Amino acid sequence: EEEEEEEVLSSNDDEDDEEGARAARAARAEAEEDEGAALSMSAMEGELRDGIMGILDTVAAHFDAFRALKDRSLDARIRGVSITDDDMAAMDALQNSIIDELKSLKLNNARIEALVEQLYTINKRSIGLEGKLMRLAESCGIGRPDFAKAYQGHEMDPSWLDTVKEKTKSWTRFAIDQRDRADEIRQEIFTLAQETGVPIDEFRRIVQTVQKGEREARQAKKE
């Protein structure tokens, strides 16, 4: 009986050893598989990161050149002159290139919302300044529709007050009596344009485009 018990115990030990070996092999295989997956994921992340950085490097280089031309264009408008056709063509080409590169990037919703919020904050400042200018005009007897018609499209024109001065007596009073305050407000508008890198009228169109996109997105969700 003792011999039989020893044989049974020995058999159980062998089975335990074999089971342990199988478990060890399975663990090693799983570890190797995890390591391979990790390496594969790391390689994918590296490739993705390199691709994104390449796009951003291209955008940064193009944007530096674009911003230099845009600043030149903005300064020219403030002085009442225009940039050359070659500069305008170069600026358009750079802008299209930047847009094409950025289209290949995917921003998360939180980042998009932050950018839109920043855009609207700047727009609020612009509207506030233009509102002050309009109220100055109203104090001289100029109606809002008349002011808007005379002002829009001439936001960056340095000689605008001299141009509108001869329109009516109300405009003459505005251009003379309120000139100092109007010049102060317009200088703030020019400064804001320089901060954003685009003239106020162009910035307004950008905001309108974003607002239109948001409306269309909300409508699409409802449908």
CA 115 to chain centre: 5
Tell me: do 67 and 129 sit in the same domain.
Answer: no
Tell me: do 128 and 84 sit in the same domain.
Answer: no
- Which of residues 87, 106, 125 is at a domain's end? 106
- Which of residues 106, 136, 159 is at a domain's end? 106
CA distances 172 to 129, 150, 185, Å, are 21, 13, 18
Q: How many structural domains are present in the chain?
A: 2
pLDDT in tens, the chain (223 residues): 444 444 444 444 454 555 555 555 555 655 555 554 444 545 545 544 555 566 666 667 777 777 787 778 777 777 777 778 888 888 888 777 777 776 666 666 777 777 778 888 888 999 999 999 999 999 999 999 999 999 988 888 888 999 999 899 999 999 999 999 999 999 999 888 888 777 888 888 888 887 887 787 777 777 6
Closest alpha carbon to 188 in 72, 69, 78: 78
What range does the domain containing 12 cover? 1-106
Closest alpha carbon to 186 in 120, 127, 128, 133: 133
Query: By the 8 A CB rule, do 188 and 129 touch?
Result: yes
Tell me: do 88 and 198 sit in the same domain.
Answer: no
Q: How many CB atoms lie within 10 A of CB 151?
A: 17
